[in-house]
Amino acid sequence: MNKILDYLDELLPDASCELNYKKDYELLIAVMLSAQTTDKRVNMVTKVLFDKYKTLSELSEANIEDVIKIIKPIGTFNKKANNLIKIAQSLLELKEVPNDRLYLESLPGVGRKTANVVLSNLYNVPCIAVDTHVSRVSKRLNLVDLSDDILTIEKKLTNKIPKNKILKAHHQLVLFGRYYCKAVKPLCESCKLKDICVYKKYED
């Protein structure tokens, strides 16, 4: 594990969330919208969305057809638009995104992964959100079993990574998978972890 973390520190010393947001609820909404799409595409639509609806109150009263037009490029826009407005309505009563996993996961379109991203970024809760990148990298580097599900991967990584490094390591694993250990054409030849990589062994 130390070898992996050292390499990630070398490669991605300043890794952080790539979703753009200025307010706590903007992060929550952006992460919810990011399901099955890219952060880059989400950032494109949230710029328009948050410029048009500048407060939670405005979002909670937004016309769903107008929201759909804005977020259409990210896919599954009908469901996400409905979730977005309901989240805004729920948060309006609290005035903030709470440090409360149960509450977050009770919101429409918000599962454990989204809650983990929000809790780690807003409240520095040491948790790992397992997306496709984290799952792929963890399996290739033999940190987890190939058959492990998302929750099992999260638990194993949480146990293996020192608690004081979890927040940073989470972002590093995401970005390492996004830009280096890609699903298609990973940059194996220049990778210093290829000697422990299951994918590289299969390729050889």
pLDDT range class, residue 200, cuts 50, 70, 90: low
Question: Could you tell me the CATH number of the domain that includes residue 197?
Answer: 1.10.1670.10
What does the buried/exposed string (b/e) look like for 32-56 if buried means 16 or more CB atoms within 10 Å of the residue's CB?
bbbbebebeebbbbbeebbeebeeb
Q: Domain range spanning residue 199?
A: 2-15+127-203
Task: Please tell me whether residues 54 and 86 are part of one structural domain.
Answer: yes
- pLDDT for position 204: 46
pLDDT tops 60 at residue 203: no
60-72 pLDDT, tens per residue? 999 999 999 999 9
* Sign of the torsion formed by the C-alpha atoms of 61, 108, 105 and 150: negative
- pLDDT for position 110: 96
Task: Please tell me whether residues 82 and 44 are part of one structural domain.
Answer: yes
Residues recognised as catalytic: 113, 131
Q: Is the pTM of this model over 0.85?
A: yes
Task: Please tell me whether residues 119 and 66 are part of one structural domain.
Answer: yes
29-43 pLDDT, tens per residue? 999 999 889 999 999
Task: Please tell me whether residues 43 and 117 are part of one structural domain.
Answer: yes
Mean pLDDT of 166-190: 95
